[in-house]
Structure 1
Amino acid sequence: MTTSAPALALTIAGSEATGGAGAQADLKTFQELGVFGIVNLTCIVSFDPKDNWNHRFVPVDQQVIADQLEATTAAYGPASGAPVTLEAVKIGMLGSPATITTVEAALKSAAFRHVVLDPVLICKGQEPGHALDTDQALKAQILPLATFVTPNHFEAESLSGLTINNVADLEAAARRIHEISGAAVLAKGGVRLEGDDAVDVFFDGQTLEILAAPKIGEVAVSGAGCTLAAAVTAELAKGASPLEAARTAKAFVTAGIKHRVASGAPFTALWQGGAGA
């Protein structure tokens, strides 16, 4: 008996110690959606319970990041000769201009078909000047390489330059980010917009679709953004269209929020197994 090989998906992201977000969330999402997941780590992030749960951010050495990317693309990349090649990659937290430059070079060299950017623009607790430098580098070097972008409310405002107070504003921001990047956009309103529904807007230059689901609480859940982008990546890896990937990812995240996990931290975490619960 023979079985077909699974699709492959790579996440270039940070480790998040509590398991609710980052590379841990990405790998769980890939597995739940039937994709062989690969992680190349960019940083190690933990929360400091003695300092208002701010991030403790430790970057991975640039050579180590480059080595991971080299090994991954040699084994599975488009030019690897592997029976099933890696065509979909998710970009999560990069954390520094140096890491952005390292990842930019790898993306250009590998020429992945799908590059899903979760534009993490702020690491809570980072020095403001450093965060600003990272934001600017991400917009200048990684955003132009993306084929799909999944900004949250704050990130959509930052990328578009628009203030988002309602769904119409979110639609305008999605259009603007597509205009800037050329990528398909899934702009997330989440719980931050008024109303009974958590609303996201998809726009790819032709199709605009509002994806809505009833809100589950009024507070954002850890890992929702990471999981959404990872689910999009997994679905693209399996051959879905961008709109199909967005719809599946929305449903997957909604189920994960419904079955979220509580802890001693002042936030809850999405459970990637929620769809099967």
Structure 2
Amino acid sequence: MVGMPSSASYDVHNPALALTIAGSEATGGAGAQADLKTFQELGTFGMVALTCIVSFDPKDDWNHRFVPVQPEVIAAQLEAIQADYAGTLKTTKLGMMGSPDTISTVATALKNQDWDHVVLDPVLICKGQEPGHALDTDRALSAELLPLATFTTPNHFEAEQLSGLTIETVEDLQQAAQRIHEISGAVVLAKGGMKLDGPDAVDVFYDGETLEVLSVPKVGDHGVSGAGCSLAAAVTAELAKGATPLDAARRAKDFVTAGIKQRVAGNTPFDALWQGGLRDA
């Protein structure tokens, strides 16, 4: 990939640390599994605190089955991680939470230390949840985790929900990214993905000063499982290694594009991103 930004440098004998607080997705395409593979590919030492277990149901059109991890178990995982790497763990990614109780537990743990980077992938919908419970979770995420984030990666739907804007064009996506930054103070990488008309998959970066459109030709006609998780995880890994937010966003975009091009097919109606896509790039 000509012109592709290089990964931030790292010491193979003393790797940067990156934590994901996320759900398990058993088939390996998304969730904590995708996060850890992304961390490894980009040269960071990954660790995980699981918030829930999501498994597709092959007997029900591959719909989600959602099982939460108890808050005390989540708290225990985070206590162990934070105690083990006290003073050195400064970067974390937040993925699927699944419940207001989980969000409160995670927010409490995050406040127990200082962070250089908190990357929030604001997962507002879990298909295995009841609508009322999902709405409560969405509100808790916006109230408790978004204010703690230093960087957030909303997809098209999430960007509309967080900004209050309808997004139909690249210009709309730019406005939404700016609005979310105003609301949260976080750096924003708003993802248009497959949702915007046109030949390109477009994301918008905004940090309060720099507004940059990241655009590559679309790959295929359908979304790929794990693309959002892996994008946020790649941003997290690059930030942990010392990259600027803009360079982290650019590198993450390339990482995901390569992974989509080399997607993994199974029996689900969607393919999975391959986190090793950049190996031969």
Kept after mapping to 1: 8 A contact 2:103/2:140: yes
Query: Which amino acid in the other structure matches residue 238 of structure 1?
Result: K
Q: Which moved more, 1:123-132 or 1:226-235?
A: 123-132
Out of 83, 104, 108, the position equivalent to 2:107 is 104
Out of 95, 99, 102, the position equivalent to 1:92 is 95
Residue in 1 that maps onto 2:167 = 164
Query: Which amino acid in the other structure matches residue 201 of structure 1?
Result: V
Q: CA deviation at 1:130?
A: 0.4
SS of residue matched to 1:229 = helix
1:70 and 2:69 are equivalent in the alignment:
no
Q: CA deviation at 1:218?
A: 1.8
SS of residue matched to 1:264 = coil
Q: CA deviation at 1:52?
A: 2.3
Residue in 2 that maps onto 1:205 = 208
Out of 195, 220, 234, the position equivalent to 1:192 is 195
Residue in 1 that maps onto 2:264 = 261
Q: CA deviation at 1:124?
A: 1.1
Q: CA deviation at 1:3?
A: 6.0
- The whole-number CA distance in structure 2 between the counterparts of 1:155 and 1:225 is 12
Q: TM-score, normalised by structure 2?
A: 0.95
Q: CA deviation at 1:101?
A: 0.2
Residue in 2 that maps onto 1:271 = 274
Output one character per residue of 1:127-180: Cα deviation in whole Å (capped at 9) or x when no partner. 000000000000000000000000000000000000000100000000000000
SS of residue matched to 1:163 = coil
Output one character per residue of 1:49-84: Cα deviation in whole Å (capped at 9) or x when no partner. 222222111111111100000010001133xxxxxx
Kept after mapping to 1: 8 A contact 2:205/2:213: yes
Kept after mapping to 1: 8 A contact 2:18/2:46: yes
SS of residue matched to 1:195 = coil
Sequence identity, in percent?
Answer: 74
SS of residue matched to 1:273 = coil
- The whole-number CA distance in structure 2 between the counterparts of 1:119 and 1:12 is 12
Output one character per residue of 1:106-125: Cα deviation in whole Å (capped at 9) or x when no partner. 11112211000000000013
Q: TM-score, normalised by structure 1?
A: 0.96
Structure 1: where are the runs of 5+ without partners?
Answer: 79-84
Output one character per residue of 1:223-263: Cα deviation in whole Å (capped at 9) or x when no partner. 00000000000000000010010000000000000000011
Residue in 2 that maps onto 1:82 = none
- The whole-number CA distance in structure 2 between the counterparts of 1:94 and 1:46 is 15
- The whole-number CA distance in structure 2 between the counterparts of 1:194 and 1:122 is 23
Alignment of 1:2-41 (within 5 A): 4-41=13-50
SS of residue matched to 1:139 = helix
1:235 and 2:244 are equivalent in the alignment:
no
Query: Which amino acid in the other structure matches residue 156 of structure 1?
Result: A
SS of residue matched to 1:222 = coil
Q: Which moved more, 1:94-103 or 1:110-119?
A: 110-119
Residue in 2 that maps onto 1:59 = 68
Residue in 2 that maps onto 1:127 = 130
Residue in 2 that maps onto 1:218 = 221
Kept after mapping to 1: 8 A contact 2:104/2:144: yes
Kept after mapping to 1: 8 A contact 2:167/2:173: yes
SS of residue matched to 2:192 = strand
Structure 2: where are the runs of 5+ without partners?
Answer: 1-10
Deviating beyond 4 angstroms after TM superposition, the runs of 4 or more aligned structure 1 residues are: none
Query: Which amino acid in the other structure matches residue 113 of structure 1?
Result: D
